[in-house]
Structure 1
């Protein structure tokens, strides 16, 4: 009887009635709480429904009953990776490997976890074991090339020195060029066997490459070629054809972007244009203020269903495709390898060229770019007004003029270093040291992100400070905070120091809404100039520097003049309240849609 009930529940779940199916299987489990088949199916459904916390509880219940259940151990490790519990993922996948050293998926799960822990050499070894197990029964003639592809994951999040970045970069570029030529010799049918080409492509996330702060055009072109070859998809640039279907597609792979960015920027798209927002590999979220001409699709993609997903998107006959965050995830890099619309556009939420011939336009802002910028993009660069975005100050406002006037002077100059650890390039560590040398009473407040990365950054800075005879205890790491507590934390700071070479966007807007001055440094890459451009928009340029020496001197001057600090806080706040901008992306898409 229970088996028949279970089959009905599975069928219900597969038809899309997930909540009803989960309620039904919960009742079945209550009637027989030790039944492992029930717990397995329950865990699988919870995982597919995106409830990874409850999924993990079920797998732990299975493991408690049977500690040597390798399937449960591996599935638990995979789920823990989804919730960024990488230490536990390593623990459970290692347990599975100790029981059975021939489980490819255990090495895969452990390799992914180690990659996120910035243990790229260990991750590479695990993923090579995964691949060897996957291809052991397949023609080995081309296996060396496929295994060499996994060398391309060796991109650290945190580097100890700039010299190490340069050495690794040269090695990576040389290897990538060789791999392109080798992949061209592999027959299509070989790559399609067990989807092995796609499975490797899904491992080659180059997200951290951009944080080396080089010109990424050439290396992204090479990675894009490798991705296309592994997918057995030759890149074909498409000429702009007549727009006739009036359908706009938007693909986002980053869970915060639909609410934080996309709806706001696209709300002035012509109401006669149909917009389909495709949210990739993220749970369903409540979206506020959706225009009536928008349709929302949630899609999960993997190596095994990629062909079907691409076909489904292509079948929608999208005229203009907007991908605001190519590079933020491997899924966005994969989808950029396909021609999914007549015209494809990317935004600057990951402010680096895609390298793909299938992306036609890069939408940026004229205040962030330089005269030489075009040479840094494979796409046609479009310099929209300002920073290219509509900025609504209201969501960022977290204080009042009175509170800014009444703010008491801190005993130390409290400097906020508010970005994620991988944005702090070692070439700029000396600036913190020089600030500490000039200002006796100063403290640097970082924000925790992930234990392993936090510790690598802390260790690097500690060594540099000690080498220069400076007490490293002036560097502290603040626990991550919810939105309200984060805004209260900003009010305790005197200034924020922009991430040099990778300027803040949303973080800067949070600071301006709190009346917190952000000291920034311009350079030749657009990704360095977000804060400087926002300051231009609000008519305040005195906090922007063009050299490290100028930046250090400005911070020193501010530390001596609390009255100036009060004045500039109020000016920032008032000017930010009155910032002027428009939905430039909407306007650009509307114009493209009218072309014959």
Structure 2
């Protein structure tokens, strides 16, 4: 920061400070600073500042923080010191405290442009976007040619969705500082969001010309990949790798790739084989170093391939990452954790997720988290730096004992979690977020567990348990998990029944006859396995008056790729599918209500949409396999005790059930009536399932305190009637 650099220059000719071992407490700090028994307040103040700045310059942030704390304890006051203290606090994830000291700095010096700018960055991290915008604008009003503030304003406007204003601010930053590669990169990110991909590519190339940083090459690779220029993208990833060959992020992004929309099973098999080969090469020939940049492993797509070696691949991947320098936190002390947990009267439960917002993960687990937080369990929410704020996230945060916004640095975030002395750490959705996946590679609590936010194993020995239920699993299930499998008595979610607020929708809006049989396939494009294509064709062939209803997703390129595949692999699907644009949530619910049936895709079934279908009595046809990821609708029907449920045991039976629902009106009405009668009682608003979670928390912690796991046959007692 500018004032920090200025202050360092000013200190060069001051009295030299003797270098002492890092102090561990206030008494040692006093001894370190005082040196003699008598020292003036002014001299002591300067010594504290000098020591704090020197430690900060060396990157010893925890040690520097102690000196800033002592500065405050002595009652000293200085705008620049408070501003620099805020930098330390921000680095440590103590954003509220950082905000406090930046405001103190501004109180002392109202026209402190840097402090206003720094306050904006803290408010940005806190997701207080409106206040952050005001802070950046204030910095600019004080110093109109403050290029960095213009660039920061551009980023906040981007995150607030004010893309046109963001573009103008980024262009202003470049005008004021044309040699700023950062400003060019910021403008490129904004242009990507407004789909000016060619211009974004141009500005990223300008950023590279100004400063050929590997992360700019990496960003350019991502952009080119978004534009479906895969070969060019791989070339840019290779440029990043050449500049920083041991960088783990660049190696994995450039080498571990899966197609989101594969053409056939042969392509899937080939890509998985190549994936395993690349993991082995990284492990054998490269000494990977994690430099802090979050990366993707593409492992998310493994779950959709209908393959038997997911666990093997995830274990290989985890081993490579675990052997990489700088990624794994090894500071957890089991014995210390046991002692601290035994001293407490209540369990400290940490919940780490990127999706506790208006998202299916929150729909599944938000109510449970609220109920646990209202019990005698102390809940600490760890939000990733990429988490979004909405009414659902705020409702959860309001009940938590503490909410911590984590820094972008995985190393700092893991230290932050360790410093909170968590007993049990819950990752609801490992595999959905690159950030939480990287965190989950380290042991940060006595007990660590995950569940079906992304319904597959983590493959990590650091994750002790996977929460599931009886109807999700089969006698073969244990072979699919690296974790100890915990089967609750009922589906381990508490889903609030969706309510349609008066929206109306009918088939006439789709330009089809009211007598048409409308089959919903409102799934993400990557859920359509190639094996499913011919099934869709046969369903349409067997039900002549039928149409498929496809709801467009946010990634148009994936939909286009799916259409391209269907054009080659099917005869009827493209001509008899309604590709409907994205609509509001209320309209989507009305569409679900209007559909005659919804069909569950093979191998990776419905989750969120199944509950929405049940809310409006829309039958769902499903075909479960031995894998939990395909068994959600099956488990729902079993829990509701639906007689004659549309559950198939084979593709032929799946097609036959669809046909029966289309032509046997009494059968369809019987299923609809049963759903209407039983969903409210047995599926929605499960207000007691959280009690099974609490039993698990208590028993798993007790087992950990004895350095063991729960037995394989552990079951909670059920209070459900």
Q: Could you say which TM-score interval applies, normalised by the shorter chain?
A: 0.7 to 0.9
| 2:315 match: secondary structure | helix
Q: Which 10-residue stretch deviates more, 227-236 or 309-318?
A: 227-236
Distance 1:316 1:6 in 2: 34
Please name the residue that 2:259 is paired with.
156
- The CA RMSD over aligned residues, in Å, is 3.5
Contact kept? 1:417, 1:447, Cα under 8 Å:
yes
Distance 1:36 1:330 in 2: 32
Distance 1:3 1:127 in 2: 45
After TM superposition, the structure 1 = structure 2 runs for residues 328-343 of structure 1, keeping only pairs within 5 Å, are: 328-343=432-447
**1:589 counterpart (685, 697, 702):** 697
Distance 2:295 2:618 in 1: 40
Contact kept? 2:249, 2:295, Cα under 8 Å:
no
Cα distance change of structure 1 residues 104 and 181 upon mapping to structure 2, 3 Å threshold: closer
Post-superposition Cα deviations, 1:274-315, rounded to whole Å, max 9, x if no partner, equal 11011112133334654986234242443xx22211111111
Post-superposition Cα deviations, 1:67-98, rounded to whole Å, max 9, x if no partner, equal 997543311333566x6x5x435641334316
Post-superposition Cα deviations, 1:238-266, rounded to whole Å, max 9, x if no partner, equal 97974424211110022435742333123
Q: Which 10-residue stretch deviates more, 457-466 or 52-61?
A: 52-61
Post-superposition Cα deviations, 1:462-486, rounded to whole Å, max 9, x if no partner, equal 22224xxx37321221111111110
Q: Which 10-residue stretch deviates more, 233-242 or 113-122?
A: 233-242
Shift in Å at residue 210 of structure 1? 1.9
Cα distance change of structure 1 residues 41 and 376 upon mapping to structure 2, 3 Å threshold: closer
Please name the residue that 1:500 is paired with.
602
Residue 323 of structure 2 corresponds to residue 212 of structure 1: no
Residue 651 of structure 2 corresponds to residue 548 of structure 1: yes
| 2:498 match: secondary structure | helix
Shift in Å at residue 558 of structure 1? 1.7
| 2:472 match: secondary structure | coil
Please name the residue that 1:59 is paired with.
170
Please name the residue that 1:172 is paired with.
275
Contact kept? 1:225, 1:235, Cα under 8 Å:
no
**1:12 counterpart (119, 138, 154):** 119
Please name the residue that 1:266 is paired with.
369
Tell me the TM-score normalized by structure 1: 0.84
Please name the residue that 1:532 is paired with.
634
Please name the residue that 1:465 is paired with.
570
Please name the residue that 1:123 is paired with.
233
| 1:169 match: secondary structure | helix
Contact kept? 2:256, 2:278, Cα under 8 Å:
no
Higher-Rg structure is: 2
Cα distance change of structure 1 residues 273 and 64 upon mapping to structure 2, 3 Å threshold: same
Cα distance change of structure 1 residues 464 and 66 upon mapping to structure 2, 3 Å threshold: farther
**2:469 counterpart (337, 343, 365):** 365
Contact kept? 2:660, 2:667, Cα under 8 Å:
no
Asked which structure has the greater RCO (Cα within 8 Å, sep 6+), the reply is: 1
Shift in Å at residue 27 of structure 1? 5.0
Distance 1:118 1:359 in 2: 36
Distance 1:372 1:448 in 2: 36
Distance 2:282 2:487 in 1: 35
Distance 1:4 1:181 in 2: 56
Cα distance change of structure 1 residues 272 and 31 upon mapping to structure 2, 3 Å threshold: closer
Please name the residue that 1:513 is paired with.
615
Q: Which 10-residue stretch deviates more, 264-273 or 316-325?
A: 264-273
**1:43 counterpart (150, 154, 179):** 154
Cα distance change of structure 1 residues 108 and 126 upon mapping to structure 2, 3 Å threshold: same
Post-superposition Cα deviations, 1:549-575, rounded to whole Å, max 9, x if no partner, equal 001011112221234333322322221
| 1:129 match: secondary structure | helix
Contact kept? 2:113, 2:138, Cα under 8 Å:
no
Please name the residue that 1:104 is paired with.
214
Please name the residue that 2:670 is paired with.
567
Cα distance change of structure 1 residues 247 and 66 upon mapping to structure 2, 3 Å threshold: closer
Distance 2:700 2:674 in 1: 39
Q: Which 10-residue stretch deviates more, 72-81 or 383-392?
A: 72-81
| 2:578 match: secondary structure | strand
After TM superposition, the structure 1 = structure 2 runs for residues 299-448 of structure 1, keeping only pairs within 5 Å, are: 299-302=405-408, 305-392=409-496, 394-395=497-498, 410-448=514-552
Post-superposition Cα deviations, 1:336-385, rounded to whole Å, max 9, x if no partner, equal 11111011000111001101110000111110111010011111111111
Post-superposition Cα deviations, 1:436-476, rounded to whole Å, max 9, x if no partner, equal 2212121111111111001001111122224xxx3732122
Cα distance change of structure 1 residues 501 and 67 upon mapping to structure 2, 3 Å threshold: farther
Distance 2:513 2:664 in 1: 10
Distance 2:501 2:333 in 1: 46
**1:294 counterpart (386, 400, 420):** 400
Instruction: Extract unaligned runs of 5+ from structure 1.
Output: none
Distance 2:542 2:231 in 1: 40
| 2:184 match: secondary structure | helix
Cα distance change of structure 1 residues 213 and 235 upon mapping to structure 2, 3 Å threshold: farther
Contact kept? 2:214, 2:239, Cα under 8 Å:
yes
After TM superposition, the structure 1 = structure 2 runs for residues 239-258 of structure 1, keeping only pairs within 5 Å, are: 242=338, 243-244=341-342, 245=344, 246-254=347-355, 255-256=357-358
Contact kept? 1:284, 1:298, Cα under 8 Å:
no
Distance 2:382 2:637 in 1: 33
Contact kept? 2:257, 2:298, Cα under 8 Å:
no
Cα distance change of structure 1 residues 425 and 247 upon mapping to structure 2, 3 Å threshold: same
Cα distance change of structure 1 residues 434 and 64 upon mapping to structure 2, 3 Å threshold: farther
Shift in Å at residue 37 of structure 1? 5.0
Distance 1:586 1:539 in 2: 26
Please name the residue that 2:389 is paired with.
284
Cα distance change of structure 1 residues 471 and 147 upon mapping to structure 2, 3 Å threshold: closer
Cα distance change of structure 1 residues 211 and 125 upon mapping to structure 2, 3 Å threshold: farther
Cα distance change of structure 1 residues 336 and 117 upon mapping to structure 2, 3 Å threshold: farther
Residue 655 of structure 2 corresponds to residue 557 of structure 1: no
Instruction: Extract unaligned runs of 5+ from structure 2.
Output: 1-108, 507-511, 706-721
Q: How many pairs does the alignment contain?
A: 562
Contact kept? 2:421, 2:445, Cα under 8 Å:
yes
Distance 2:664 2:671 in 1: 11
Shift in Å at residue 228 of structure 1? 2.0
Distance 1:98 1:24 in 2: 29
Distance 2:162 2:430 in 1: 26
**1:226 counterpart (276, 299, 320):** 320
Please name the residue that 1:453 is paired with.
558
Distance 1:70 1:125 in 2: 21
